[in-house]
Amino acid sequence: MKKISALLLGTLLFITGCVQDSNEEVLQNDTTEQETSIVPSYQLSDENYRMILPYKTSQARGVIVNQMANRVDIDEMEEGLRRLSKEVYDPNELYFQEGQYLDSSTIYSWIDELNPVVEKGADEDTYRENPRYLSHILEQNYMRHNEDQTVELAGLSLGIAMKSVYRFQTETGGPYYYENISEQEMLSQANEIAQTIVQEIRQMDGMMEVPIMVAIYQEEEQASPVPGNFVAKANVPGGSSAVENWQSVNEENILFPSTEGREKYYDDQEIVSSFGNEIAQFFPNYVGLIGEGFYIDEELQKLTIEIPIEFYGKAEVLGFTQYAYGLVQEMFPNYYDLEINVTSSQKVESLIYRNAGDETPTVHIYH
């Protein structure tokens, strides 16, 4: 995904540079400072939000990296919240902007206030009985372009990251301990946390009538090769401070090969394993692969595979990629997105990807 995103970003920057001369509108942002904003009229697809320029980074930039220990969780939370937001805020009508209302000090303060307090020097049992459930609060803004050439906040999304495993020390430099947190316990705490956060936001200037979508993200453990997932969401209409009518979010990220993959999605794991076995027959430097399946309502949406292999020349890269390309066409159904990254110890060597519904994959060889 990261590699595809990088390619798309390069394309976007090129297109945006071209479009600014003729297809963008200069708007006055709806603030007291009346900043000049540019709204690109070009949209990559109906599934992607356009973004207001100049691009504004989050007021809490960097907090998520300090609060969430697993990089894959960080990426999934950001992308997943935007994905869930599409069900509430139409990408064809609204524009995306990183959060501008919750700054770093506010989020750090809320995280400390909303987690249990344990006094220094407490024993192991006390820590286990009072885990820090809340990791992070992610804000995303969705903006409306008005007829009077202003931009205003049309909706706000909040992602609340909750731990599945609490990692703690009883003394500085001492050993780490781990306490598992059940999903039921996590959701109970998340409900109270979400209610408090929404009430705090409603007290901010101009935020009483803004719709808010709240989504609960359950992190994976720190060393997990696959991310966690969103488990619940709720819509809070403008004028309301009550977070209720929670809906379950049935999303999963599954590691292949794994015991969980075999038990839950046997057929998919068999395809991934067979793909690896075919490669192993012809390439002696192959040591294995890592697959990740993203599921919504138990239906595979995207399969990502990383193949680490040691190459001794560009001809080997070309030959391997050509062989893998043929296997993709023979073995993998096309009802889901597929991405295969061929890597060496130094870099990504090649990329094979196919969007759902496409008959043939696209290949990129990195130089």
360-367: average pLDDT:
92
> What is the C-alpha separation between 66 and 80, in angstroms, rounded?
19
Question: Average model confidence (pLDDT) for the chain?
Answer: 88
Lowest mean pLDDT of 37-51, 64-78, 168-182, 244-258, name the range: 37-51
194-204: average pLDDT:
97
Sheet of 348-354: strand order equals 251-256, 290-296, 299-308, 337-343, 348-354, 362-365
Q: What digits encode the pLDDT tens for the residues 167-182? A: 999 998 999 999 999 9
Structure tokens, 98:
């990183």
DSSP 42-60: --S-TTS-EE-BS----TT
The DSSP H or E segment spanning 160 is: strand 150-162
The SS3 call for residue 82 is helix
> What is the C-alpha separation between 316 and 353, in angstroms, rounded?
20
> What is the C-alpha separation between 291 and 286, in angstroms, rounded?
15
> What is the C-alpha separation between 25 and 146, in angstroms, rounded?
12
Closest by CA position to 7, among listed 364, 367, 346: 364
pLDDT of residue 287: 83
Q: What digits encode the pLDDT tens for the residues 264-311? A: 999 999 999 999 999 998 887 788 899 999 999 999 999 999 999 888
Does 14 score more than 90 pLDDT? no
pLDDT of residue 273: 96
Domain(s) labelled CATH 3.10.570.10 in the chain stretch across: 55-249
- The answer regarding whether domain 55-249 maps to CATH 3.10.570.10 reads yes
Domain(s) labelled CATH 3.30.300.190 in the chain stretch across: 254-365
pLDDT of residue 31: 41
87-101: average pLDDT:
95
Q: What digits encode the pLDDT tens for the residues 219-242? A: 999 889 999 999 999 999 999 999
pLDDT of residue 28: 45
Does 40 score more than 90 pLDDT? no
pTM confidence score: 0.85
pLDDT of residue 169: 92
> What is the C-alpha separation between 325 and 93, in angstroms, rounded?
38
Q: What is the CATH number of domain 254-365?
A: 3.30.300.190
> What is the C-alpha separation between 334 and 358, in angstroms, rounded?
7
pLDDT of residue 42: 54
109-127: average pLDDT:
94
Query: Please, which pLDDT band fits residue 314 given cuts at 50, 70 and 90?
Result: confident
**Most confident of the following: 25-29, 313-317, 358-362:** 358-362
Does 15 score more than 70 pLDDT? no
Closest by CA position to 61, among listed 108, 103, 95, 25: 103
Does 337 score more than 50 pLDDT? yes
